[in-house]
Amino acid sequence: MQYAILCYHDEKVTCAWSKEHDDAVMAKLGAVMGRLERQGKLGPVARLLPTTAATTLRQDREQPLVIDGPFAETKEQLLGFYLVDCASLEEAIEIAKELAAANPGGAHEIRPVGVFFPAKVAS
């Protein structure tokens, strides 16, 4: 069984971290991830940039709507995520529109990735 582990944290607090503190947290995480990786248990890992950098494509109406920021209403839950490599925000929005067309309703949050570790899990 594979599990997605989604990290939630208060951005106001993480953005108040000093660089030293941030580095220390990343170093500790790196140690844990290193162990999991050696055990062949680690899939792709991404650290997302703050929600202020995010864009959301809402498709609960006829014309999809692109809005700033994360999708804030809590009646919908995060069901998974895709990792795509695009040249621009425009391209990412286009891909999100295709995904949305295949999977209508709800919203897709387009959130830039800050740190990415590729997959190493034995599948």
- The span from the CA of 86 to the CA of 90, in Å, is 9
Using the rule CB under 8 A, which residue among 68, 84, 119, 121 binds other proteins? Answer: 68
Choices 10-18, 38-46, 57-65, 96-104 (CB under 8 A): range interacting with other proteins: 10-18
| Residue at token pair 């494509």 | 57
Residue 1: CB minimum distance to other proteins, A: 30
Whether 55 and 93 have beta carbons less than 8 Å apart is answered as yes
**CB contact set of 82 (below 8 Å; sequence gap of 6+):** 99
Residue 35 found at the interface with other proteins (CB under 8 A): no
Beta-sheet strands, E only, within the chain: 45-48, 55-58, 65-68, 107-110, 113-117
Contact between 21 and other proteins (CB under 8 A)?
yes
The binder of other proteins chosen from 43, 50, 64, 106 (CB under 8 A): 50
Contact status: 76 vs other proteins (CB under 8 A): no
Residues interacting with other proteins, by CB under 8 A?
10-17, 19, 21, 25, 49-50, 52-53, 55, 66-69, 88-90, 112-115
